[in-house]
Amino acid sequence: MPETAHQKAIVLDSAGRRLSPCSPEKARGLVAAGKADLVTEEPLTVRLRREVDLPPPADEPVPPGRGRRILLHVCCGPCAAYPVQRLREEEFEVAAFWYNPNIHPFAEHERRRAALLQLAAAVKLPVWEAPGYEMVAFLRAVCGHESSGERCRICYHMRLERTAREARERGCDAFTTTLLVSIHQDEEAIRTIGEEVGRQAGVPFYDERFRRGWSERGRLAREHGLYQQDYCGCIYSEWERHRGKG
């Protein structure tokens, strides 16, 4: 079969490692000069009579979670599904933390907690829970600040500040929250508050754009058969979600 200009010869070094290809003319010239041996004609392959010092492979980027433990504040089972998967892809050792005094009524709080435990059992996720149910503390904190933006920032601060302290006490390297996955939450406020309470606790807040996994969140929640709520959690959001119905 005649050689054409666009064909390249395969070049090996004496150790059999593949090098950059060259033109058939150059390959045959190496053989003629006694610098290489012909291996095959089709495809044209030559082996050099010396070993070539190849540059070391480029360093692969180190995943941000390699060798690090992260505490993930969880607001509900469905919202945990994607972040847990994503953090593990980044090689974090993940543990979940349940602290949501905003969720009302208590039966709803327990239903969402059960959904987290259901997911945790399925994906082998450790779960740490804050003792008690501090709904009264939440209501006192938001009293006089019931508008959506104001109360939400207070709520974020309560939960993230408690998570940061828990992360410090348990020796975690970072903390973050499933609140970042929801398209209904104030992503910038969560990030700002997370970084602030992280500095105060001495544990960095890990900012990941979990919102990119919003659709995957829904798919995973259905796959695991998790309870999916229809309001954010507090008594105000429940009223806002359902007013006018009935």
Render pLDDT for 202-240 as a digit per residue (tens, 0 to 9): 999 999 999 999 999 999 999 999 999 999 999 999 998
pLDDT of residue 6: 56
Task: Give the angle subtended at the CA of 183 by the CAs of 187 and 100, to the nearest 5°.
Answer: 70
Q: Name the band, by pLDDT with cuts 50, 70 and 90, for residue 242.
A: confident
Q: What is the pLDDT of residues 157-209, one digit of tens each?
A: 999 999 999 999 999 999 999 999 999 999 999 999 999 999 999 999 999 99
Q: What is the mean pLDDT of the chain?
A: 93
State if pTM tops 0.85: no
pLDDT confidence bin for 245, thresholds 50/70/90 = low
Q: What is the pLDDT of residue 246?
A: 46
Helix (H) or strand (E) holding 156: helix 148-169
CA atoms within 13 A on the CB side of 14: 7
Mean pLDDT of the 10-29 span: 91
In eight-state DSSP terms, residue 128 is E
C-alpha 223, offset from chain centre: 19
**pLDDT band at residue 54, thresholds of 50, 70 and 90?**
confident
**Exposed, middle or buried: residue 214 (CB in 10 Å: 0-12, 13-18, 19+)?**
middle
